[in-house]
C-alpha cells in the first residue's frame, strides 16, 4: 500500500493543532491533545475504503488514458492532463464519501472550488457521446476491480 502525506488531507485547523503539539513536545511540555481528538481535521467520510476507491479510480483512469499516476496527481495545466484529473474528481465524488477539499488535496493539490468546477465540466461534456463512452468504460472498469 502506498503511504499518504497526512498534511495534504488535513484541514488547516488540524495542521495548526498538530504543529502546536509538535512544538510543545520539542519544548519538553506535555501533550494537550490526544491524537484521536485530531480526527475532526479529516473529512467525515475519509476512511480506508474511500482511500482505496480513490486509488483504484486513479489507477483505472491512468490505464485508460495510458498515462502515469504522477501526471494526474501533479498541478499541470496541460489540457489533456487537466481533463484526466477532472474525470478523477468526478468519479471520486460519485464513488467515495470524501469531501471535495479532500479529493482536491489528494488529486492535483487543488481546492474544493476546482473540484466543483471539474464535476460541472465533466457533467457538461457528458452530452458528447464519445466522451460519455470513455467515462462509462472507466466506470465499468472501476466497478469490475472494486469490491462494493
SS (H, E, C) 21-78: HHHHHHCCCCCCCCHHHHHHHCCCCCCHHHHHHHHHHHHHHHHHHCCCHHHHHCCCCC
Question: Which pLDDT does position 33 carry in this prediction?
Answer: 44
Q: Please state the domain extents for the chain.
A: 7-41, 48-145
More confident residue, 40 or 67: 67
Distance of alpha carbon 70 from alpha carbon 3, whole angstroms: 15
| pTM for this entry | 0.69
- For residue 52, pLDDT beyond 70: yes
pLDDT band at 38 (very low <50, low <70, confident <90, very high): very low
- Could you give the percent of the chain with pLDDT greater than 70? 66
User: Cα dist. 77→42, 71, 74, 84, 86 in Å?
Assistant: 27, 10, 9, 11, 11
133-140 mean pLDDT:
97
- CATH for 48-145? 1.10.1750.10
86-105 mean pLDDT:
94
Amino acid at each position: 500500500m502506498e503511504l499518504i502525506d497526512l498534511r495534504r488531507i488535513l484541514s488547516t485547523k488540524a495542521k495548526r493543532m498538530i504543529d502546536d503539539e509538535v512544538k510543545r513536545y520539542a519544548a519538553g511540555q506535555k501533550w494537550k491533545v490526544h491524537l484521536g481528538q485530531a480526527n475532526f481535521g479529516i473529512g467525515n467520510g475519509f476512511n480506508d475504503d474511500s482511500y482505496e476507491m480513490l486509488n483504484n479510480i486513479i489507477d483505472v483512469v491512468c490505464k485508460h488514458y495510458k498515462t502515469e499516476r504522477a501526471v494526474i496527481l501533479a498541478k499541470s495545466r496541460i489540457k489533456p492532463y487537466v481533463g484526466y484529473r477532472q474525470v478523477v474528481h468526478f468519479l471520486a465524488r460519485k464513488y467515495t464519501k470524501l469531501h471535495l477539499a479532500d479529493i482536491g488535496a489528494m488529486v492535483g493539490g487543488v481546492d474544493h472550488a476546482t473540484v466543483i468546477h471539474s464535476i460541472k465540466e465533466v457533467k457538461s461534456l457528458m452530452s458528447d457521446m464519445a466522451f460519455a463512452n470513455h467515462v462509462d468504460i472507466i466506470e465499468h472498469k472501476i466497478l469490475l476491480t472494486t469490491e462494493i
